[in-house]
Amino acid sequence: MLNKYARAFFTRVLTPFAAFLLRRGVSPDAVTLVGTAGVVAGALVFFPRGEFFWGTITITLFVFSDLVDGNMARQAGVSSRWGAFLDSTLDRVADAAIFGGLALWYAGSGNDNVLCAVAIFCLASGQVVSYTKARGEAIGLPVAVNGLVERAERLVISLVAAGLSGLQTFGVPSWIGVLLPVALWLVAAGSLVTLVQRVVTVRREAAEADAAAPAEGGAA
C-alpha cells in the first residue's frame, strides 16, 4: 500500500539528489551496494546491543538508496535486468539484517525467546512473500495482488517502532519500549496474511491459465 502512494512522492523528492550523483560519475549499482552495506551495518552493529535509536537513524539514512538507484538508472537511461536483479537481491539482504539484528537482541540481552522467534518469523515470512511473487511471475503469471503488508510497510512499522523504543536512552519513560514488540507482532501477522493472499492469487491464476491452455490449443 505504501509503495503505491509514498514511492512516487519520495521519487520526486530524491530526483535532484540522484541527478547530482550522476553528474559526479556515481553509478546506480554503486549506490545499491553502499546503501545495502549501510543498512546491514546499522542493523547488525546497533540493534543487537539494544541501541535502537541510532540503529534506526543509520538504517534510515541508507534505506532510501533503494529509491535513488532506480531513479538514477532511469535518468541515465541505463535500466537493465542486471540492475533490477541486484537491487531485488540486496533488498532481501537488508531486510534479513534488520530483523536478524532484532532477533539477536532478544536472543541475548533482550532475554525474550518469544520475541526472538517472532523476529525470525518476520525475517523468514518477508523473504517468502517476495519469493511467491517472483516465482509466480517466473512461471508466467501476473500475480495481480499487492497484499496487506509488503516490504515498505514492514520497514516503516518496524523502524518507526524501533526508533521510538530507542528514545528510552534519552530519558523517555520506559513504557515506550512496548512499541517494538507490538510492531513485530503486527508485521508477523500482516506478513502471514500477505503470504496467504499471494498464494491464493497464484493458485487461482495458475488454474485459469491451465484451463485456458487446452482451449487455445483446440482453437489453433
**d(C-alpha 37, C-alpha 98), whole Å:** 12
210 marked among binding-site residues: no
Q: Mapping DSSP to helix (H, G, I), strand (E, B) and coil, where does residue 52 land? A: helix
Which of 139, 51, 142, 155 lies closest to 95, judged by CA? Answer: 155
Please, is 125 exposed, middle or buried when counting C-beta atoms within 10 Å of its C-beta (0-12, 13-18, 19+)? buried
Active site includes 91?
Answer: yes
29 marked among binding-site residues: yes
| Catalytic residue selected from 91, 95, 112, 210 | 91
Residues in the chain: 220
74 marked among binding-site residues: yes
Q: Is the Cβ–Cβ distance between 125 and 149 less than 8 Å?
A: no
149 marked among binding-site residues: no
87 marked among binding-site residues: yes
31 marked among binding-site residues: yes
Amino acid at 44: L
| Cα dist from 31 to 10, 28, 69, 98, whole Å | 16, 5, 6, 19
Spacing of C-alpha 96 from chain mean position? 9
65 marked among binding-site residues: no
112 marked among binding-site residues: no
Annotated binding site: which residue ranges?
A: 29-32, 66, 69-70, 74, 80, 87, 91
Annotated binding site for Mg(2+): which residue ranges?
A: 66, 69, 87, 91
- Residues identified as active-site: 91
Annotated binding site for a CDP-1,2-diacyl-sn-glycerol: which residue ranges?
A: 29-32, 70, 74, 80
